[in-house]
Amino acid sequence: MNNLILDFEQAKSKHLLFKSRLRSILYDIDVDETPVLSHYECSVGKWIYGHALQAYGHIPEMYELERVHAEIHTSAKRLVALHKSGKTIEAKNGLSEMEAIADQLLGLLSTIEQKIQENILQPSVTTDMDIKLDEYFDLIRLNAELDKRIKHQIAENNRSAHQFETVLSALNEGITIHDANGTIQTANKSAALLLGMSIDEMKEVTSLFSRWDAIAEDGKAIPPAEHPPMLALKTRLPQINKIMGIRRPDGSLIWLQVNAQLLIDQENGELTGIVSSFFDVTSTRKATNDLKESEKRFRLLAEATPQMIFTANPLGDADYFNPQWLNFTGLKTEELVKWGWQKTIHPDDIRSTLDQYKFIRTSGDGGEFENRYQRADGQYRWHLNRMLPIKNEQAEVQLWIGTATDINDLKQLQDQKDDFISIASHELKTPITSLKASLQLLNKIKDNPSSKMLPILIEQANKSLDKVNALVKDLLNASRFNQGHLHLNKSKFIISKLIENCCNHVRLAGIYTIKTTGDMNIQVYADADRIEQVLINFVTNAIKYAPSSKEILIEIKKTNDIVKVSVSDKGPGIPKEKLSFLFDRYYRVDTNGIQYSGLGLGLYICSEIIKKHDGQIGVTSQLGNGSTFWFSLPLNS
């Protein structure tokens, strides 16, 4: 091989080494980049400026060779820049363009070599060898090894790219990859399906694309610059779990949960692009909205119902109390949540309440129990608690709903009924026993009608029978009031005359004096028998509870269209705390430890009679100064 041929062969080898270096850079093989990026530092450039232009400058193609070589490096620098900015695929695709220019350089080298060999123009200087033969073969060997490495890297990259494309295609999640400007470089099939566009339609567009019509959860439009990928580029911060609605080309609205992660070059720390992932949450959002709406309806219902309602998680931690709870206890929600509600339970009921509460939660089937809660005024009232579990499709408890119904009045009524049964049994037993004894004695003297005991026993039997009759009558009256079957037979009468007639037997006994004052001519329209029953009860009570007060005062007073009748005594009076219970069913006054006979129905019946007349009834009393029972009736009824 002569020197001329060797000179041009080494120039071609140096050019081949340049192309190998460029390909190595684009395939991330570690090589020196300087000869690729600099036209003058390149081995071919050094050959041109250090030798060829001087040796072969008399050949015109030599200057065209210099221009093409500069153009090759300009193209190479652009491809390296694209690669470093993250547009690796675009850079690799640009190799074919650079190869076309490189082929021009090889052609020019062959042309110049051929002209010299044909002696068309003689070289002005002799050739200068800058590479030894063994170095030449080393260069060829190195280039072959580099080419082998590049081919292996290409195969690996192709395999990785195939795997990457396969993974992207398999994902149900939409994936888009953006460059550092936010432009979409690639997308998977799921992204195209979710957004209603083809992959080709999405490429080379950004969030600023007019077809991205997005809205926020509150219905307001989201400016394109605030889409998650663009925000990630702008703020240099990942955008996590952003919810946005996208209007697809067919007009349908899809709700997406979007994440945008930064792509950072590990070598220089520069931002090279964005990976955006998103998936359809339309059905989830609808379910969430339905749940919120359901919760809203529950709260409205809980706030409207008169019952006390609370909710608790599966562990029993209370997390909600309706306004009725807050009003009853006088406490704030934060004082009641979790286990704070325990402070409202009566000390005697805490252990049983917690045991029942735990048992119901453990069973998972719901249940009920009774206890006493403290009201804001300090009073404890009985409540019936019911708990119901809310379960999911797997029958797992998700929530407990509890109600507390005030049953204090019912409990008191039950206690009163129990007391009444005991009282009624006792009160009926006494006259019946007396009646039985009288009848037994009468049976013994039935054959001796002249016995002095006969009239006494008959009178005693009649008194006992009257007592039984009075007790039964009270029971019947109370039952009629409860069932709403008591009817009034109204007529006009002068109330003072009714008082005189109904109390005449007391006057005749000569023990008590009844004094009637006020308007003696007032006429009322009412049921005379029922009003007489009220008056007799008031007078009888005055005698029973104030036996030492020998004078009973009855006053008749007219005020506007109302007549008020008051019966007063000068007895010991009634304690203030007992006044509000006097007209309750089965209530009996216990004064100074003395329990009086009776069923506790008299004043209750009087109250119902007056209410039936659209009137009012009441009592005033002061210890040591006697009591006054009164009722009023409307005169225009």
Evaluate whether residue 365 is within a structural domain. Answer: yes
Closest CA to 511 of 551, 480, 479, 474: 551
Of the candidates 444, 472, 471, the residue with the CA atom closest to the CA atom of residue 457? 444
What's the pLDDT tens digit per position in 170-200? 667 888 888 888 888 888 888 888 888 888 8
Q: Is residue 261 part of a domain?
A: yes
pLDDT value of position 9: 80
Last residue of one domain, picked from the residues 280, 312, 342: 280
Q: What is the pLDDT of residues 201-232, one digit of tens each?
A: 888 777 666 566 888 888 888 888 888 988 99
What is the average pLDDT value for the chain, to the nearest integer?
80
pLDDT of residue 195: 85
Same domain flag for 500 and 553:
yes
pLDDT of residue 594: 41
CATH number, domain containing residue 457? 1.10.287.130
- Of 349, 382, 406, the residue that ends a domain is 406
Are residues 499 and 570 located together in one domain of the fold?
yes
Position 123 scores a pLDDT of: 45
Please check the confidence at residue 631 and state whether its pLDDT lies above 90. Answer: yes
- With 80 as the cut, is the pLDDT of residue 435 above it? no
The pLDDT confidence band at residue 125, using thresholds 50, 70 and 90, is very low
Kindly report, residue by residue over 575-615, the tens digit of the pLDDT: 888 888 888 766 655 555 444 444 567 788 788 889 989 99
**Contact call for residues 91 and 28 (beta carbons, < 8 A):** no
Q: How much is the pLDDT for 330? A: 92
Residue 251's CB is within 10 A of a number of other CB atoms, namely: 8
Look at 342 and 479; give whichever has higher pLDDT: 342
In a domain, 12, yes or no: yes
Average confidence (pLDDT) over 236-240: 90
CA atoms within 13 A on the CB side of 590: 4
> To 10 degrees, the CA torsion angle through 570, 572, 573, 577?
180
Highest mean pLDDT among 84-88, 144-148, 518-522: 518-522
Domain of residue 534: give its range.
491-634
Residue 577: the pLDDT is: 83
Q: Answer whether residue 165 is part of any domain.
A: no
Q: The tokens of 571 are what?
A: 């007895």
CATH code for the domain of 219: 3.30.450.20
Query: Which segment of 226-235, 484-493, 616-625 scores lowest on mean pLDDT?
Result: 484-493
Are both 435 and 544 inside the same structural domain? Answer: no
Residues 235, 210 within the same domain:
yes
Helices 3-26 and 95-117 meet at what angle, rounded to 10?
A: 180
Q: What is the pLDDT of residue 129?
A: 45
Per-residue pLDDT tens digits for 353-392: 999 999 998 888 888 899 999 999 999 999 999 988 888 8
Tell me if 107 is assigned to some domain. Answer: yes
Q: 479 and 550 in one domain?
A: no
Question: What mean pLDDT comes out for the span 133-156?
Answer: 62
Closest by Cα among 538, 527, 541 to 492 = 527
Coil, helix or strand at residue 176 = strand
- Answer for the pair 585, 601: CB distance below 8 angstroms, yes or no: yes
What is the percent of the chain where pLDDT is above 90?
16
Task: Return d(Cα 238, Cα 275) in angstroms, integer.
Answer: 10
352 assigned to some structural domain: yes
**pLDDT at site 564:** 94
Q: How much is the average pLDDT of 23-40?
A: 82
Asked if 442 and 562 sit in the same domain, the reply is no
Between 413 and 82, the more confident residue is 82
Indicate if 125 and 183 belong to the same structural domain.
Answer: no
pLDDT at 480 over 90: no
| 231 in any annotated domain | yes
CATH number at residue 515: 3.30.565.10
d(CA 385, CA 406): 9
> Using CA atoms, how far apart are residues 492 and 163, in angstroms rounded to an integer?
107
Torsion sign, CA atoms 444, 447, 450, 454: positive
> What confidence category does residue 127 fall into, taking pLDDT thresholds of 50, 70 and 90?
very low
- 562 - beta bridge partners? 559, 634
For residue 309, list its beta bridge partners.
Answer: 403
The strand pairing partners of 253, in sequence order, are: 247
Q: Quickly state the pLDDT bin for 553 (edges 50, 70, 90).
A: very high
Rg (CA), the chain: 55
One domain for residues 395 and 300 = yes
Average pLDDT over residues 270-298: 78
One domain, residues 199 and 218: yes
Domain count, the chain: 5
Residues 240 and 123 in one domain: no
Burial 540-577 (b: 16+ CB within 10 A, else e): ebbbebbeebeebbbbbeeeeeebbbbbbbbbbbbeee
Same domain, residue pair 431 and 295: no
569 vs 150 pLDDT, higher one: 569
> CB of 497 within 8 A of CB of 535?
no
Confidence of residue 424 (pLDDT cuts 50, 70, 90): low
pLDDT at 425 over 70: no
Query: Would residue 164 count as lying in a domain?
Result: no
Same-domain status, 108 and 8: yes
